[in-house]
Amino acid sequence: MEPDRAVADLEQFLGERGEQLLRTAVLLAGSKEAGEDLLQAALERLLRHWQTIEGNPEGYLRRTLYHLAADGWRRQRAWQRQFRLLRPGTDTAVADGTAEVDLRDALVRLLMQLPPRQRSVLVARYWEQLSEAETAQLLGCSVGTVKSATSRGLSKLRELSTFSTEHQPAGERTP
């Protein structure tokens, strides 16, 4: 396929499926800007292999997003920087004054503190609603690895969320 044609086809694909992929990227990367960078990197890789990809490129793009997120974050320890950016009170989500909403926001903030593999598994399982087998296939690991990563991730999330709610400043504590 000619390069210009590939770009046009990809733009059309992004118009249809781009938002969902970007939301996944944002969750994997921790912020809107980092998510856009991640999707951009995945698109570059997709274009590089465009001629060898048959059919819908979404599967390739989704796999690349997860792999890049895991690799990049492991290498750059960006998750630690994201953690600093995502401390309570600096997130983009706006609390609506109810305990439930605060807990939702806190959970996402805490999700970013998890190691890349655990975070990827939880995003795949709870955001993409994939089964354990589908998650294993997406991440290129065994079902057992998915199970253990999910278990550890959720445990840590629960642990951190308890710690977080217990240590909120008095003025921000939910009534």
Answer yes or no: are the C-beta atoms of 109 and 91 closer than 8 Å. yes
Instruction: State which residue, 3 or 140, has the beta carbon closest to other proteins.
Output: 3
Distance, CA of 106 to CA of 13 (rounded, Å): 33
Under rule CB under 8 A, how many of the chain's residues touch other proteins?
Answer: 43
Neighbours of 8 (CB within 10 A): 12
Query: Which residues within the stretch 108-167 sit at the binding site for other proteins (CB under 8 A)?
Result: 108, 111, 122-123, 126-127, 154, 157-158
- Computed over its alpha carbons, how large is the radius of gyration of the chain? 18
Query: Minimal CA–CA distance to 34: which of 1, 76, 5?
Result: 76
Instruction: State which residue, 18 or 145, has the beta carbon closest to other proteins.
Output: 18
Sites of contact with other proteins (CB under 8 A):
3, 6-8, 10-11, 14-15, 18-19, 22-23, 26-27, 32, 35-36, 39-40, 43-44, 46-48, 91-93, 100-101, 103-108, 111, 122-123, 126-127, 154, 157-158
